[in-house]
Amino acid sequence: MFIQEEELQLFLNDLIDQYGYDFTEYSEASLRRRVDLFMVRDNVPDLTTLRSLVFTNPDYFRHLVEEVTVNVTEMLRDPLFYKAIREEVIPVLATYPFIRIWHAGCSTGEEVYSMAILLKEAGILHKSRLYATDINPGVIEKARSGIFPASQMRKYSENYIQSGGENDFSAYYTANYNLAKFDERLSEKMTFATHNLVVDSSFNEFQLIVCRNTLIYFNKNLQSRVLELFDQSLELLGFLALGSKESLQFSSIEFKFRQTITEQKIWRKVK
Which residues bind to another protein, rule: CB under 8 A? 1, 5, 27-30, 33-34, 70, 72, 213, 215-217, 219-220, 223, 243, 245-247
Closer by beta carbon to another protein, 72 or else 171: 72
The least distance separating another protein from the CB of residue 3, rounded to whole angstroms, comes to 10
The least distance separating another protein from the CB of residue 118, rounded to whole angstroms, comes to 22
Closer by beta carbon to another protein, 34 or else 195: 34
Closer by beta carbon to another protein, 31 or else 190: 31
The least distance separating another protein from the CB of residue 76, rounded to whole angstroms, comes to 15
What's at 154, amino acid-wise? R
Closer by beta carbon to another protein, 109 or else 238: 109
Closer by beta carbon to another protein, 218 or else 239: 218
The least distance separating another protein from the CB of residue 56, rounded to whole angstroms, comes to 28
Closer by beta carbon to another protein, 187 or else 251: 251
Q: In whole angstroms, what is the distance from residue 113 CA to residue 35 CA?
A: 30
The least distance separating another protein from the CB of residue 155, rounded to whole angstroms, comes to 13
**What b/e string do you get for 3-34 counting C-beta neighbours within 10 Å, with b at 16 or more?**
beeebbeebbeebeeeeebebbbbbeeebbeb
The least distance separating another protein from the CB of residue 37, rounded to whole angstroms, comes to 9
